[in-house]
Amino acid sequence: MPAPPLLTPQIGIDGVEMRVTTRLGGVSRPPYDTLNLGDHVGDSADHVRENRVRVGGVIPGDAMNWLRQVHGARVVEAADGPVPEADGQWTRERHRPLALLTADCLPVVLATEDARCVGIAHAGWRGLAAGVLESLLSAMPVRGASVVAWLGPAISAAAYEVGPEVKAAFENVLGEASSVCFTHSVQADGHWMADLALLARLRLRRAGISVILGGDRCSLWRARALFFPSPRWPDNRPNGNHCVAQLTHFASAEVLFEPSF
């Protein structure tokens, strides 16, 4: 069984590992080809199971902890048992991988510099506006600890057109400071190009995090070659990727990208 190729971004902390899957190395057939990890998008259940087995075979640690993501701000401590409905999770346990599925949305990993705690959040515009990053940080037992953030692949500002309600949502919680995260769309009057990574950086800095890495890879522009494409383009049905982060010395977390159709 061939191992799927995974990206290995660095967060600069010994004991913290991250992985990002691509669409390569699986068994799913078009339009899910080939490494679809989503069990809720209409793909064959057998193909999804095989794809997850392949990914699990190349990621160190125990079985991955998944979430039923709902674009909210609820955060849970990772544990065995039923998959919880939440958009963030954290752990202090060794080799407990934390997994997320994203499409346009931004995966965010928070890890302490001593590698004793790690958390991960699914941060689309709704989650960011609702405070999912702040919820994750407040849930993690990291008082007084230095935290480093990493932003994974997501749709870039050059591709992400939103309506006025999105800009207004951030103005309500961030005030005028959020204006730098939006530029006028040249395609539609009254619409804006939103920078999710910049919005996340703004929220993280306000929460006291100064070391913020990543956020420079667009999951759309390289969709056909590397990532699953976004649903906002009519000829690109699959729309997600899978990202994983993991602490190996003290705890583990995983972020995985896959299509969510």
pLDDT digits (tens, 9 = 90+) for 154-200: 999 999 999 999 999 999 999 999 999 999 999 999 999 999 999 99
State the average pLDDT for the chain.
86
- Which CATH number does 6-154+212-258 carry? 3.60.140.10
Task: Report helix, strand or coil for 176.
Answer: helix
For the segment 41-69, the average pLDDT, to the nearest whole number, is 88
Q: What is the DSSP letter of 29?
A: P
Split at pLDDT 50, 70, 90, the class of 257 is very low
Burial of residue 39 (CB within 10 Å: 0-12, 13-18, 19+) is middle
pTM of the predicted structure, to 2 decimals = 0.89
pLDDT confidence of residue 261? 39
Rounded to the nearest 10°, the torsion over CA 10, 50, 120, 156 is 70
Residues 124-161 have pLDDT tens digits of 999 999 999 999 999 999 976 799 999 998 999 999 99
pLDDT confidence of residue 33? 86
Split at pLDDT 50, 70, 90, the class of 11 is very high
| pLDDT score of 230 more than 70 | no
Residues 65-106 have pLDDT tens digits of 989 999 999 999 999 999 999 999 999 998 899 999 887 899
